[in-house]
Amino acid sequence: MTSPVDSVMVSREGAIATLTLHRPERMNALDRATLRGLREAVDAIWGDRDVRAVIVTGAGDKAFCAGADLKERAGMSPDEVRRFLKHIRELMNEIEHLPKPVIAAVNGLALGGGTELALACDIRIAAEQALMGLTETTLAIIPGAGGTQRLPRLVGKGRAKELIFTGRRVAAPEALSLGLVERVVPADRLLEEARALATQIIEQTGPVAIAQAKFAINRGLEVDLETGLALEAKAYEVTIPTWDRQEALRAFSEKRKPEFRGE
């Protein structure tokens, strides 16, 4: 699997696809071409049943993604900015709703849209030198790719307001304490840890179950508890007639590891 856009590298290791933003000279900032490459890669992964987990990271050891490419942005008309924001919002939504686990391996600076990209992923693992923040208000704008909605759902309303209102950058240890990331590891172990987690998910769980659990969690957080429980029940119902559920029961009784098909 490859991307036609040089600024996005797509690699496969078994059932794990890794999407690498590859503009280290621009701190892996999101320009139009990179945004297009990411969307094409996500679209391809969406329909690829052989991909069971996705890792998103940045090239080099300095930046995960520095957000929008401000040099390109400076040359855009207001209408072009609106179109760009529409496309980046759509990308973040596609990543969030991808029916596979998506792990952000935050290898360095992640500001503005870079933090929003990490927020759209399911799980975030940060290198010790990672620095994150929704810094848009320091540019007299606001987070426009989901940051005002996803951050408070992750760290709480008051903390999100403090971070967004100040535009403060958060180092990896604080990001961990806030719940902004789930793990902090040495930089030289970052991708190893991300792949190990992805492998654990792949080897121990059924693909349909993961997709339905992700759906139930994501959608359930948007509604009241009673509605959320009803969503959970419907998601569970999807798993009942699957081949994988029967295989799990067979494997348990036969004392062996199940071989899931995603069916």
* 36: nearest Cα among 13, 8, 66, 69: 8
The residue annotated as part of the active site, out of 40, 136, 192, 263, is: 136
Nearest-Å Rg of the Cα atoms of the chain is: 19
Alpha-carbon distances of 125 from 22, 62, 172, rounded to whole Å: 19, 15, 9
C-beta separation of 81 from 142 below 8 A: no
Residue with the two structure tokens 């969030």? 96
DSSP H or E stretch at residue 86: helix 78-97
CA-based end-to-end distance of the chain = 23
Q: Which two tokens stand for residue 142?
A: 């606001």
Q: Which two tokens stand for residue 169?
A: 């950058």
Task: Give the type of residue at 123.
Answer: I
The residue annotated as part of the active site, out of 116, 192, 237, 254, is: 116
In the beta sheet, which residues pair with residue 127?
185
In whole angstroms, what is the distance from residue 227 CA to residue 187 CA?
Answer: 41
Please confirm, yes or no, whether 182 is among the known catalytic residues.
Answer: no
Please confirm, yes or no, whether 116 is among the known catalytic residues.
Answer: yes
Residues serving a catalytic function are 116, 136
